[in-house]
Amino acid sequence: MQEKIKQLLEEVNAFQVSIEDDLESFKRKFTNKKGEINQLFGEFKALPGDQKKLVGQTLNQLKTRATERLNEFQASLKAQSVSSDRPHDLTLPGDAHVQGARHPLTTVLNRIVSIFERLGFTVAEGPEIEDDWHNFSALNFPDNHPARDMQDTFFVQRNPDYLLRTHTSSVQVRVMEDSEPPIKVLSPGRVYRNEAISARAHCFFHQVEGLVIDKGISFADMKQTLQYFSSEIFGDQARIKLRPSYFPFTEISAEMDVYWGLETEDDYRITKGTGWVEIMGCGMVDPNVLRNCGIDPEVYSGYAFGMGVERIAQLLYRVPDLRLYSQNDIRFLKQFERIG
Ligand code: DAH
């Protein structure tokens, strides 16, 4: 019996509780009426008188020790629950707060929009899944134009009448169909082209389209607006150049370059050795397009332009590879404007 008492004493001393359930098993095993200690007291009664004194002493020690342990366990569980109930411990160190950064394309897009808003433009958005009419036909693309080719455009597989818009010029058509001049809108958005992805090309990117229609609008109005935009976004010294070009939906058409300079090796690479970079297409809206959209070209004229947001961000932030914009690499993203 002494052996059994010694063994139980060791178990009582080694017992650990971390949750309420452990406390219950301790009671069940040792201190309850049906627990092992009480059982020993039962057996104790049957012992011969000469052993009773010694065994009784150790048995009582075991019982006292078990009660002590029970009190300790109860106290520590109580302390635990008090500390987790307390909502705020102002003395604890704070959690590290990871600060986000705004995506460079968002920052540049917001800047572009706010510059044109100052000139009275409002924002009009259109769907990314478009039909042939809004993306091509209304914009005076001939039926056999290469842009309509599967090679260049993503068509919706189940219904090839629909496609992913290849430019935000489609929104021009929607705006002209739905409203009366004077019109002065800006249409930012994502566009898609079937291109192999590389440092210089991607299958999706962002454009901002502008459209101004009113009586007596001329090429000079357009040039003035674009000069203002360029000096706002690139700085007062910005120089622009309009080069004759061709788009089915404008007549006359131009491409606009900004002067970038030729100071570093990078400048040579970016400007292909010319010092100039193209940042948008523009022109006077073709009378056929006005007519397609229900606007009388004898009464109204207007200009339109479309620029690539990635390209402008690339110039402003010196981003060497277009793929960086969509890879979600935190090392790239955290270099930009902090939020908050
Ligand atoms: N849609 C043309 C493109 O994606 C850009 C463009 C050129 C838009 C001339 C225009 C414009 O509004 O007048 O390359």
Q: What span, in angstroms and rounded, lies between the C-alpha atoms of 238 and 235?
A: 6
- pLDDT: is 80 or 308 the higher one? 308
Q: Say yes or no to pLDDT of 340 above 60.
A: no
Q: Retrieve residue 260's tokens.
A: 């970038």
Please tell me if the CB atom of residue 255 comes closer than 6 angstroms to any atom of ligand 1. Answer: no
Mean pLDDT of 45-63: 89
Ligand 1 center to 254 CA (angstroms): 9
Ligand 1 binding pocket mutation candidate from 184, 257, 282 (most atoms within 8 A of CB): 282
**What is each CA distance from 85 to 20, 193, 208, 224, in whole angstroms?**
16, 57, 54, 66
Please tell me if the CB atom of residue 278 comes closer than 6 angstroms to any atom of ligand 1. Answer: no
Ligand 1 center to 169 CA (angstroms): 6
Q: What span, in angstroms and rounded, lies between the C-alpha atoms of 287 and 295?
A: 9
Of all residues in the chain, the percent with pLDDT exceeding 70 is 97
Q: What span, in angstroms and rounded, lies between the C-alpha atoms of 66 and 5?
A: 12
The predicted structure's pLDDT at residue 78: 85
User: How many CB atoms lie under 10 A from the CB of residue 309?
Assistant: 23
The predicted structure's pLDDT at residue 141: 93
Please tell me if the CB atom of residue 169 comes closer than 6 angstroms to any atom of ligand 1. Answer: yes
Please tell me if the CB atom of residue 282 comes closer than 6 angstroms to any atom of ligand 1. Answer: yes
Q: Say yes or no to pLDDT of 88 above 80.
A: no
Q: Retrieve residue 133's tokens.
A: 């009419």
Q: What span, in angstroms and rounded, lies between the C-alpha atoms of 163 and 26?
A: 71
Please tell me if the CB atom of residue 303 comes closer than 6 angstroms to any atom of ligand 1. Answer: no
Measured between its terminal Cα atoms, the distance across the chain in Å is 72
Please tell me if the CB atom of residue 247 comes closer than 6 angstroms to any atom of ligand 1. Answer: yes
In this predicted model, what pLDDT tens digit does every residue of 281-329 receive, in sequence order? 999 999 999 999 999 999 999 999 999 999 999 999 988 899 999 999 9
Q: Say yes or no to pLDDT of 189 above 70.
A: yes
- Tokens 């370059």 label which residue? 257
Q: Say yes or no to pLDDT of 79 above 90.
A: no
Ligand 1 center to 103 CA (angstroms): 25
Ligand 1 center to 157 CA (angstroms): 26
Q: Say yes or no to pLDDT of 83 above 70.
A: no
For ligand 1, atom 5: residue with the closest CA: 306
Please tell me if the CB atom of residue 250 comes closer than 6 angstroms to any atom of ligand 1. Answer: yes
Mean pLDDT of 198-219: 95
Please tell me if the CB atom of residue 292 comes closer than 6 angstroms to any atom of ligand 1. Answer: no
Ligand 1 center to 305 CA (angstroms): 6
In this predicted model, what pLDDT tens digit does every residue of 131-178 receive, in sequence order? 999 999 999 999 888 878 777 899 999 998 999 999 999 999 999 999
Q: Retrieve residue 176's tokens.
A: 């002209």
The predicted structure's pLDDT at residue 80: 80
At 84, the pLDDT band (50, 70, 90 cuts) reads low
Note the pTM of the prediction, 2 decimals. Answer: 0.73
For ligand 1, atom 10: residue with the closest CA: 305
The predicted structure's pLDDT at residue 86: 63
Please tell me if the CB atom of residue 153 comes closer than 6 angstroms to any atom of ligand 1. Answer: no
The predicted structure's pLDDT at residue 117: 98
Ligand 1 center to 154 CA (angstroms): 18
Output the average pLDDT for the chain: 92
Please tell me if the CB atom of residue 305 comes closer than 6 angstroms to any atom of ligand 1. Answer: yes
H helix runs in 121-246, sequence order: 132-135, 169-178, 219-234
Please tell me if the CB atom of residue 286 comes closer than 6 angstroms to any atom of ligand 1. Answer: no
Q: Retrieve residue 225's tokens.
A: 């607006």
- In Å, how far from its chain's centre is CA 314? 19
Q: Say yes or no to pLDDT of 81 above 70.
A: yes
The predicted structure's pLDDT at residue 282: 98
